[in-house]
Amino acid sequence: MTTTAELRATAARTLTRLEGLVPAPVARALVAGGAVLTIASAWLSWTWTDRFPGDLTVSGYPGGLQWLTVAAGLLLLLQALAAYQVPGLRALAPTGHTGPLRGLALTALATTWFTLIAITVELNGLVNLTTGGVVAGLAVLPALFGSLALPGDRHPAAETGPLNPWQERLLVTGLTALGLAVFTYAIDTEYGELFVGFLITTGCAAGTWVKSGLFERVSRIAARNRAFGTAAGFVAAALFPLTQTNDHNANVGVNILIFATVALGLNIVVGLTGLLDLGYVAFLGVGAYTAALVSGSPFSPFHHQIPFWAAALVGAGASMVFGILIGAPTLRLRGDYLAIVTIGFGEIFHIAAKNLDGTSGPKITNGPNGIPQIPDINLFGLDLGNSWQLGSITIGRFANYFYLMLVVILIVIAVFSRAGNSRIGRAWIAIREDETAAEAMGINGYRAKLTAFALGATLAGLAGTVSAHVTYNVVPDPYVFAGSAPPNSAFLLAAVVLGGMGTVSGPLLGAALLYLIPDKLVFMDKYQLLAFGVALILLMRFRPEGLIANRRRQAEFHQADLPAQGGSPDTSSLSKAGA
Do residue 314 and residue 418 come from a single domain? Answer: yes
Cα 435 to Cα 250, 333, 370, 424: the distances in Å are 43, 12, 41, 14
**Above 90 in pLDDT, residue 201?**
yes
Residues 286 and 207 grouped into a single domain: no
Q: What is the spatial distance between Cα 356 and Cα 366, in angstroms, rounded to a whole number?
A: 6
106 sits in which H/E element: helix 98-122
The answer to whether position 574 is within a domain reads no
If residue 390 lies in a helix (H) or strand (E), which one and from where to where?
Answer: strand 388-390
Residue pair 545/554 in contact by the 8 Å Cβ criterion? yes
What dihedral do alpha carbons 556, 558, 563, 569 form, nearest 10°?
10
525 Cβ contact list (under 8 Å, min separation 6):
none
Q: Which of 241, 220, 240 is nearest to 229 (CA)?
A: 220
575 in a domain, yes or no?
no
298: closest CA among 369, 401, 397, 382?
Answer: 369
If you average pLDDT over residues 382-395, what whole number do you get?
Answer: 78
Residue 33 has a CB neighbour count (10 Å cut-off) of 16
Q: Are residues 496 and 419 in the same domain?
A: yes
The CATH number assigned to the domain holding 424 equals: 1.10.3470
The last residue of one of the domains, among 492, 517, 542, is 517
3-state secondary structure of 379: strand
Three-state SS for 541?
helix
The amino acid occupying position 353 is A
The count of domains in the chain is 2
Is residue 111 situated within a structural domain? yes
Does residue 572 have a pLDDT over 60?
no
Give me the domain span that covers residue 130: 12-152+193-220
Residue 531 in domain: no
d(CA 227, CA 414): 12
Q: What pLDDT, on a 0 to 100 scale, did the predictor assign at position 10? A: 62
| Same domain for 87 and 18 | yes
- CA distance linking residue 267 with residue 276, whole number of Å: 10
The angle that helices 165-188 and 214-224 make with each other, rounded to 10 degrees, is 120
Among 26-30, 315-319, 329-333, 479-483, where is mean pLDDT lowest?
479-483
3-class DSSP assignment, residue 384: coil
Model-wide pTM > 0.85: no
> Is the pLDDT higher at 533 or at 513?
513
Show which of 489, 517, 545 is a domain's final residue.
Answer: 517
Tell me the β-bridge partners of 129: 47
Longest dimension (CA), the chain: 81
pLDDT, tens digit (0-9, with 9 covering 90-100), for 368-386: 888 888 888 888 878 888 8
- Residues 142 and 257 placed together within one structural domain of the fold: no
Cα 557 to Cα 473: distance, rounded to the nearest angstrom: 43
Q: What is the mean pLDDT of residues 156-183?
A: 81
Cα 533 versus chain centre, distance: 15
Whether residues 197 and 278 share a domain: the answer is no
Query: What are the φ and ψ backbone dihedral angles of 427, each rounded to 5 degrees?
Result: -65, -40
Assign 393 a pLDDT band (cuts: 50, 70, 90): confident
Contact (CB, 8 A) for 515 and 259: yes
More reliable by pLDDT, 502 or 33: 33
How far is CA 409 from each of CA 6, 51, 141, 335, 454, rounded to the nearest angstrom?
47, 42, 46, 30, 18
CB 97 within 8 A of CB 153: yes
Distance of CA 448 to the CA centre of its chain: 28
Q: Does residue 157 have a pLDDT over 80? A: no
Give me the pLDDT at residue 46, please: 93
Q: Is the domain of 128 the same as that of 256?
A: no
- Burial (CB < 10 A; 0-12, 13-18, 19+), residue 392, is exposed
209 and 276 part of one domain: no
226 domain residue, yes or no? no
Which CATH number does the domain housing residue 132 bear? 1.20.1440
User: Number of helices and strands (H, E) in the chain?
Assistant: 23, 4
Q: Closest Cα to residue 112, out of 183, 34, 201, 191?
A: 201
DSSP annotation of 20 reads: T
